[in-house]
Amino acid sequence: MAEQVFITGMGMVTAIGNNVQENLQSLRLQRSGLGYTRHIDTIHKAVLPVAEVTATTQELAAMAGKENVPGYSRTTLLGLVAMQEALRSAGINDAREMPAAFINASTVGGMCDTEKVYFDILDPEKDGAFLQFIDTLDCADCTQRIADDVGIREYVTTISTACSSSANALMYGARLIQQGLVQRAVCGGTEALTRFTINGFNSLKNIDKQPCRPFDQQRNGLNLGEGAAYLVLESASLVRQRQSKVLATLSGWCNTNEAFHPTAPSPEGDGAYEAMKEALAMSGRTADDVQYVNVHGTATLNNDLSEGKALERLFGDKVPRFSSTKPFTGHTLAAAGAIEAIFSVLAIRGQLIFPNLHFSEKMEELNIVPETQLITGVPVRNVISNSFGFGGNNASLVISQYEG
């Protein structure tokens, strides 16, 4: 029988906080991280809202203990700050104490730094000092640097499946544990804002010039964000051996790929429906057992309609409370799945449901509306956390209250 997979540690940094507790406080206070960039030199600086981590890259280096150490991109530093908190949270003083896996997700890698020297590469007059940044471009560079820094060497890999990346990283780590290949896996993702990302999504006409409004009739696109989050997964055997404090159970998961379109989901939400349905089946729970869905909820025209239809197909006229937390953190792309998995754990442990900010008008195609106020003191035992990426790559996680 495959081992259960437990969450024993969490660490994160986003636009609404530099650690898990600060994020929870901002969620409780309904304090959004959306604003205008202070760190990126872009023509959209005062036009397109983003959710930017407040710390400068130099301040992140100090937080990570990497002041004046070359080769650490902003993406890597965000990840290292979150990783260090995750290990502390799990009571792990030395990650080298036992074989472990590190499954990291990113879509931009070190592009936040390499894009600044792009024209230097083309300029024969430049002395080549910019070459120190080139190695950081590869998404795997930040993975390897974080792994080397904390001492995980046994199984290290990088996943890049757009917005579902870190949800898929969690699935991969959980599968390694279930198959007995490792007893512990640290999984998540890290993503820094870049001009390339902002320009790319803007060219798709997918960015709103106002704070995003998921599941609203007047929604007009997403707001990009940056951040990092990691969860420590451990087998039931290791939890018993270490007497680990269990935060929640990763009870079910599923990835589907509908391949409907390079960027758009299927209109009827086929992939999202299958991902949620199969994740629930794996968890041993039924639709009636779900109290909250942290939806992907990007506030783009196609995504919210597709996901809403999938919710109505799966739950019928009993759709549980749901909300998108992206108006708090922005859409953090590869890091979103892990960030929102942590929010799901916080919902269970705090018995609360987070509000869907900026909502004002029900979508005419749907019969459901998201929660718009913080709800406290309600039983939250099982949460579905959705992360849906380009190409129809759909990932759903079922996170459950620990029953031990």
The predicted-structure confidence for 321-366, as pLDDT tens digits, reads as follows: 999 999 999 999 999 999 999 999 999 999 999 999 999 999 999 9
CA atoms of 363 and 30, how far apart (whole Å) = 23
Kind plus residue range of the DSSP H or E element containing 240: helix 236-242
- Which residues are bridge partners to 190 per DSSP? 228
Distance separating alpha carbons of residues 188 and 166, to the nearest angstrom: 5
Do 342 and 20 form a contact (C-beta atoms < 8 A)? yes
pLDDT of res. 138: 74
For residue 116, CA distances in Å to 58, 225, 290, 379 come to 16, 19, 46, 48
**Distance between CA 281 and CA 253 in Å, rounded?**
9
Give the active site residue among 187, 212, 254, 296.
Answer: 296
What local confidence, expressed as pLDDT, does residue 146 receive? 97
Torsion of CA 213, 293, 376, 361, to 10 degrees: 30
pLDDT at position 274 is 97
pLDDT attached to residue 326? 98
Per the model's pLDDT, the better-predicted residue between 344 and 268 turns out to be 344
Q: Give bridge partners of residue 294 from the DSSP assignment.
A: 323, 385
pLDDT at 128 over 60: no
Q: What is the distance between the alpha carbons of residues 29 and 346, in angstroms, rounded to a whole number? A: 14
Condensed to tens digits (0 to 9), the pLDDT of residues 358-396 reads 999 999 999 999 999 999 999 999 999 999 987 788 999
Helices (H) and strands (E) in the chain, counts: 13, 15
Instruction: Give bridge partners of residue 399 from the DSSP assignment.
Output: 250, 383
Would you call 358 a catalytic residue per the annotation? Answer: no
* Section 77-94 average pLDDT: 98
pLDDT at position 175 over 70: yes
CA distance 205 to 202: 5
Tokens describing residue 61: 């280096």
- Find the Cα–Cα–Cα–Cα dihedral 35, 40, 44, 50, rounded to 10°: -30
pLDDT at 266 exceeding the cut of 90: no
- The active-site residue out of 39, 139, 331, 358 is 331
pLDDT digits (tens, 9 = 90+) for 185-199: 999 999 999 999 999
Question: What is the C-alpha separation between 355 and 30, in angstroms, rounded?
Answer: 7
Task: Please indicate whether residue 187 is annotated as part of the active site.
Answer: no
Average pLDDT, the chain: 94
Q: What is the arithmetic mean of pLDDT over 240-250?
A: 97
Percent with pLDDT over 70 in the chain: 95
Q: What is the DSSP letter of 103?
A: E
- The pTM of this model reads 0.96
Q: Mean pLDDT over residues 272-278, rounded?
A: 97
Sheet strands (E) in 236-348: 248-257, 292-294, 321-323
How far is 250 from 283, CA to CA, in rounded Å?
8
Identify the band that residue 140 occupies on the pLDDT scale cut at 50, 70 and 90.
Answer: confident
Q: Residue 170 has what pLDDT? A: 98
Cβ within 8 Å of residue 6, ≥6 positions away: 233, 234, 235, 236, 239, 244, 246, 247, 248, 249, 250, 402
Alpha helices in 284-375 (DSSP H): 301-315, 326-329, 336-350
Q: Which domains does the chain show, CATH number per domain? A: 5-242 (3.40.47.10), 252-400 (3.40.47.10)
Separation CA 100–CA 244 (nearest Å): 16
Q: What is the percent of the chain with per-residue pLDDT over 90, rounded to a whole number?
A: 85
Q: Are 115 and 75 in contact (CB under 8 A)?
A: no
How many CB atoms lie under 10 A from the CB of residue 378?
A: 12
296 is catalytic: yes
pLDDT of residue 130 exceeding 70, the answer is no
- The predicted structure's pLDDT at residue 160: 95
Catalytic residue among 163, 187, 212, 254: 163
Q: Average pLDDT, stretch 92-105?
A: 96
Task: Note the pLDDT of residue 267.
Answer: 85
**β-pair partners for 382:** 400
